[in-house]
């Protein structure tokens, strides 16, 4: 190794709040979702924007498609990937509204049926 080459560094440690958010994301059962706000409320810390930031930076290592917007809209730019996961897991969806000029509209999550409250032993579609 030459003197100009910096020594290898360890990846930065995951911030504690981010670790807690990701831990919750991993608890969400297949076929269910929690909103950014639900996770913040469950942790009793931060808010939807903070949870969203954590998911944007670190969420690829967890089932990111299970952490969603409260209106049930799919994550912009990731709709196809998320939709494939939702269909594979049987996550309740609502058909997209047909509006003029919007061919190929993407469905939304059926939040009333898909939302998970963090209770253990909860099953999809209950």
User: 30: helix, coil or strand?
Assistant: coil
- Report the distance separating Cα 36 and Cα 47, nearest Å: 7
Please determine, for residue 96, whether its predicted confidence score (pLDDT) is greater than 80: no
Residue reference for tokens 């808010």: 47
Q: What is 14-94+107-112's CATH number, 2.40.50.1070, 1.10.10.10, 1.20.59.10, 3.40.640.10?
A: 1.10.10.10
pTM: 0.80
pLDDT interval class at 9 (50, 70, 90)? low
For range 26-50, the mean pLDDT: 97
Q: Where are the domains of the chain?
A: 14-94+107-112
- Report the distance separating Cα 47 and Cα 3, nearest Å: 45
- Report the distance separating Cα 83 and Cα 27, nearest Å: 20
pLDDT digits 0-9 by tens, 67-78 = 999 999 999 999
Please determine, for residue 101, whether its predicted confidence score (pLDDT) is greater than 70: no
């Amino acid at each position: 190794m030459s003197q100009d080459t910096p020594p290898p560094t360890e990846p930065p440690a995951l911030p504690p709040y981010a670790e807690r958010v990701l831990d919750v994301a991993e608890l969400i059962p297949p076929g269910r979702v929690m909103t950014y706000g639900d996770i913040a409320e469950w942790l009793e810390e931060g808010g939807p924007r903070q949870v969203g930031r954590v998911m944007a930076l670190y969420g690829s290592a967890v089932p990111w498609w299970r952490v969603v917007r409260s209106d049930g809209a799919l994550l912009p730019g990731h709709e196809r990937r998320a939709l494939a996961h939702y269909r594979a897991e049987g996550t309740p969806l609502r058909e997209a509204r047909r509006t003029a000029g919007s061919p190929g509209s993407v469905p939304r999550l059926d939040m009333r049926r898909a939302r998970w409250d963090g209770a253990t032993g909860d099953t999809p579609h209950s």
